[in-house]
Amino acid sequence: MSTTQPAAPAPTGRAELLGFDNVEMTFPDGTVALQGVDLSLKRGEFVTVVGPSGCGKSTLLRIASGLETASNGSVHLATDRIGYVFQDATLLPWRTTRSNVELLAELHGESKARRTQEAQEAIDLVGLSGFEDHLPRQLSGGMKMRASLARSLTLDPEVFLFDEPFGALDEITRERLNDELIRLFDEKKFAGLFITHSVSEAVYLSTRVIVMSGRPGTFVGEYEVPFDMPRDPEIRFTREYAELVGEISHALREAH
C-alpha cells in the first residue's frame, strides 16, 4: 500500500530539501532493494551512506533524483536543482573540458554567453583553469572527476548526489578531491548525499554518516560527525577521528 503522507517536518529551523518516509523499493523481478527507509536532508547537511555492496545505495540515490520511483512510501524533494555525480566521469570524449562543462546548460537552452560564463566559473571553482581546451583523454582521472563536478555545479544544485565519485582514484588524489569537495560544500551550502565504501572518507566529508544493512537495505546506524567545517586535514590523525571510524567500521561489519 502506498502512503501519501508528507515527510515529517524538519526538527530544526533549516528547511528540509529531501525527505524519505518509509520508502521501499521492490523491482519487478521481486528483488527487494530497500525497506523502511526514512531520511531527512536539509541545506547545509552532508550525509554519507555506507553499506555492503548490493544493499541498495545506488537505488536510494536514483529514487532521490527521481530517476526511479519508490514502490512504497513517500519521497519529498523541495527543489529541481539536483546535481548527480557518478563514479565514471561520463564526459563526452569529443568535447573539450569547457564544452563538456557547458553541456547541461546547453541542454537547458541557456544562451551561449551565459553558459560560457557559468562554465568558466565552475571550471575555476574545481581548479581546472588552464585545461578548458583539453579533451578528456588528455586529463588524469582526478581531473576528469573535477570536470564532472564542474558540469553539475553549473546547475547550482541545492541537492547534490554523489554515487562513489572518487572510488576509482588513488588515495592521494582522493584526499585532495575530498578537500576540494568540502571547500565547495562550505561555500555553496547545498544538501549533500554521498555514497562510498570508505568509512574514513565518509567521516572526513560528512556532517552525518548512515550505515545500511545488507539487502534489503535499511538504515541500522546513524552517527553525527562532531568536527567543524571546513575540515582540518589534520583531524585524520586524531584519536577522536580514529575512534569514530572504528565504531562505524564495526557497525558496518555487523550489518553484513
Examine residue 56 and tell whether it contacts ligand ADP (CB under 6 A): yes
DSSP letter for each residue of the chain:
----PPPPPPSSSSPEEEEEEEEEEE-TTS-EEEEEEEEEEETT-EEEEE--TTSSHHHHHHHHHTSS--SEEEEEE--S-EEEE-SS----TTS-HHHHHTHHHHHTT--HHHHHHHHHHHHHHTT-TT-TT--GGGS-HHHHHHHHHHHHHTT--SEEEEESTTTTS-HHHHHHHHHHHHHHHHHH--EEEEE-S-HHHHHHH-SEEEEEPSSSB-EEEEEE--S-SSPPGGGGGSHHHHHHHHHHHHHHHHH-
Examine residue 58 and tell whether it contacts ligand ADP (CB under 6 A): yes
Which stretch, 51-59, 69-77, 128-136, 242-250, contacts ligand ADP (CB under 6 A)?
Answer: 51-59
| Choice between 42 and 215, CB closer to ligand ADP | 215
Q: Which of 7, 23, 33, 77 binds ligand ADP (CB under 6 A)?
A: 33
Site track 159-198 with ligand ADP (rule: CB under 6 A), x = hit:
----------------------------------------
Examine residue 29 and tell whether it contacts ligand ADP (CB under 6 A): yes
Q: Which of 2, 9, 13, 53 binds ligand ADP (CB under 6 A)?
A: 53
Q: Which of 3, 6, 54, 112 binds ligand ADP (CB under 6 A)?
A: 54
What is the contact surface with ligand ADP in residues (CB under 6 A)? 27, 29, 31, 33, 51, 53-59, 215
